Amino acid sequence: MHKRIVKWSLLIVVITLGTYFTGYFYSSTSEAFEVAKDFVFRSTIAQKELGEITEFKLAPFGYELESVGDQGSAEFECKIIGKARSGKVYITLKKKSSVWQVIHAKLEVDQFEFQLIEAHKKTKESSIGSRGAD
Confirm whether 68 is domain-assigned: yes
User: What is the per-residue pLDDT for 23?
Assistant: 76
pTM for the model: 0.77
User: What is the per-residue pLDDT for 118?
Assistant: 62
Confirm whether 58 is domain-assigned: yes
Confirm whether 104 is domain-assigned: yes
Residue 44: φ, ψ to 5° = -70, -30
Confirm whether 134 is domain-assigned: no
Count structural domains, the chain. Answer: 1
pLDDT in tens, 17-55: 777 778 777 788 899 999 999 999 999 999 999 999 999
Query: What is the full DSSP assignment across 10-66?
Result: HHHHHHHHHHHHHHHHHHHTSHHHHHHHHHHHH-HHHHHHHSSEEEEEEEEEEEEEE
Here the CATH number for the domain that contains residue 33 is 3.10.450
Confirm whether 132 is domain-assigned: no
Q: Residue 94 is part of which domain span?
A: 2-126
In percent, the amount of the chain with pLDDT more than 90 equals 59
Does position 103 have pLDDT exceeding 90, yes or no?
yes
